[in-house]
Structure 1
């Protein structure tokens, strides 16, 4: 594995296990709008992609209905769902070691940036990050490729030769590729080895410990 100086991390399913809060927020939105709550298998597919896309494709909602669903989701998430969440074992040590090694650490998430910053601060992880970059609340920047491009621009990075993305879903891999970056797949998250490999992940980490070894040796 090549030596990377800049590491972009996805948040949900890569640094924290946020499934409970996200899925409870989806259930709340469905109840509020009088929609049938999807099966557990379908609900799990909400983990990773931009939320508005999931309401369109997984719940079959129109653009306007999906907007209403996202608004309802955000009634529950900022006060309850956001903290129905826990940091994966080994993540604080990984981030601390990356910082100690002089690496640039950037969060690049499809979660709204304000929520991402609150989560990183709540779990005392913000201290290890140089930048926390995310989606916009108005849905004008949600696609992972756009978020990664925004993160690179925010950090002033033009030389991508020593930059890598780390994420747990195919959207992370595809978004990285669109920006000319390799992506390490976090198999311990919400995706699978098959999904990440098919999308073109450069390497796979079954555990946070394996990710640590890939990034720091």
Structure 2
């Protein structure tokens, strides 16, 4: 590997896969089980990316209920939600090319780490990632800034040696708070304005644009 190439930290949901169906159905399951009204489909799409507790808290306003909701979500997601996704067009080719070019890659996601590992183990490019860093069920690792810190520690790297690639504000904010380059992508769930406001230094419209942006 060239010493100049950064290690690439990829978000998962909205960056590598469209996981909206599995996530929103699992949120609805949790809220319905708790007999709480379920937000409409557009509102639920906004839940994709942030930590679960961050999204459940203002709705349920009770720490115990939030923990129940998270447990119910994880119950359904582990059972069937993890299968309800699709890979974005161009992602497989992108990762093939980056791997061939010598980039080291990892996944850094707010998704529960066990579920993230399960999903990637069933994808043809899953083995390209040297590690998968995800949230912990006990809440110790939840927010993207914490997850990036965990990834840096596992790799023994400094922020300047890495690039965070993701589709939501928390990806770019997490990178910025570590002094790391953040590259926003527009095929997921966040807007260009959201990404730029959160500190994205570069924006990719499509997967095929990423190699050029990374080489810049």
- Report 1:1-217 matches (<5 A): 4-57=5-58, 59-158=59-158, 160-215=159-214
Counterpart Cα distance in 2 of 1:141 and 1:23:
22
| CA shift for structure 1 position 215 | 2.7
Please list the CA deviations of residues 159-185 of structure 1 after superposition, one character each: whole Å capped at 9, or x if unmatched. x33321001000001111111101000
| CA shift for structure 1 position 62 | 1.6
- Answer whether contact 2:167 2:188 (CA < 8 A) is retained: yes
The number of aligned residues is 213
Q: CA RMSD in A?
A: 1.4
Please list the CA deviations of residues 60-86 of structure 1 after superposition, one character each: whole Å capped at 9, or x if unmatched. 432211111111111210121111001
Secondary structure, aligned partner of 1:78: helix
Secondary structure, aligned partner of 2:184: strand
Please list the CA deviations of residues 90-135 of structure 1 after superposition, one character each: whole Å capped at 9, or x if unmatched. 1112112111111110111111111111111111222111111111
Q: TM-score, normalised by structure 2?
A: 0.94
| CA shift for structure 1 position 145 | 0.4
Structure 1 stretches of at least 4 aligned residues deviating more than 2 Å after TM superposition: none
Please list the CA deviations of residues 136-176 of structure 1 after superposition, one character each: whole Å capped at 9, or x if unmatched. 11111101000001011111113x33321001000001111
Secondary structure, aligned partner of 2:79: coil
Counterpart Cα distance in 1 of 2:180 and 2:140:
23
- Answer whether contact 1:193 1:204 (CA < 8 A) is retained: yes
Unmatched 5+ residue regions in structure 1?
A: none
Please list the CA deviations of residues 37-73 of structure 1 after superposition, one character each: whole Å capped at 9, or x if unmatched. 112222111100001110113x243221111111111
- Answer whether contact 1:98 1:216 (CA < 8 A) is retained: no
Q: TM-score, normalised by structure 1?
A: 0.93
Secondary structure, aligned partner of 1:47: coil
Unmatched 5+ residue regions in structure 2?
A: none
| CA shift for structure 1 position 216 | 5.1
Counterpart Cα distance in 2 of 1:18 and 1:146:
22
Secondary structure, aligned partner of 1:77: helix
